């Protein structure tokens, strides 16, 4: 097993592709693809979990603090988690709000965080536990960033 440079989770060694600015190990990126494949193949699972899956993965793979795309990605996906987990918005409303936030610049990010729960903790998960575990993962990712980004994101909802 090899630790992911983004989330810190342990994944099998791999020489495969990674995302251009959400830095991760190839094994983590492959596991994310497999999780997305599961959600895309089940409309109920997609509706219940996909928004949280994408947001949790994005905030746990911040990339370089000097890369505008990476900073924007973490901030916007954190805002989506905030809308869903704290404000009670629907996934559709959070997704629509992301689109309105996309053209802005945001403050650079602090150093990488440690996460209590990562994608590695969802690997091999039975379908029946998917929704609950994705929600736990999203809450964990949100809580890690909350002390650092809440003051940046709250005004975006005013």
pLDDT of 29 above 70? yes
**Band of residue 112 on the pLDDT scale cut at 50, 70, 90:** low
**Band of residue 87 on the pLDDT scale cut at 50, 70, 90:** very high
User: Which residues, in sequence order, are CB contacts of 113 under 8 Å at separation 6+?
Assistant: 62, 144, 145, 148
CA pair distance 8, 66, nearest whole angstrom: 20
**Where on the phi/psi map is residue 20: left (φ > 0), alpha (ψ -120 to 50), or beta?**
alpha
CA pair distance 47, 39, nearest whole angstrom: 8
When pLDDT is averaged across residues 41-64 and rounded to a whole number, the result is 95
CA pair distance 59, 113, nearest whole angstrom: 10
pLDDT at 65: 86
Tokens encoding 33: 């693809």
Is there a contact between 56 and 138 (Cβ–Cβ < 8 Å)? Answer: yes
């Amino acid at each position: 097993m090899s630790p992911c440079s983004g989330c810190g989770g342990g994944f099998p060694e791999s020489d495969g592709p990674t995302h251009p600015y959400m830095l991760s190990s190839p094994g983590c990126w492959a596991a994310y693809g497999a999780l997305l494949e599961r959600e895309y193949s089940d409309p109920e699972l997609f509706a219940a979990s996909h928004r949280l899956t994408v947001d949790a993965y994005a905030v746990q793979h911040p990339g370089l603090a000097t890369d505008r795309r990476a900073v924007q990605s973490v901030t916007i996906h954190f805002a989506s988690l905030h809308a869903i987990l704290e404000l009670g918005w629907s996934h559709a409303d959070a997704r629509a709000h992301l689109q309105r936030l996309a053209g802005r610049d945001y403050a650079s990010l602090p150093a990488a965080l440690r996460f209590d729960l990562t994608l590695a903790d969802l690997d091999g998960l039975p379908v029946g536990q998917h929704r609950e575990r994705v929600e736990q993962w999203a809450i964990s990712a949100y809580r890690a960033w909350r002390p650092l980004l809440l003051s940046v994101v709250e005004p975006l909802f005013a």
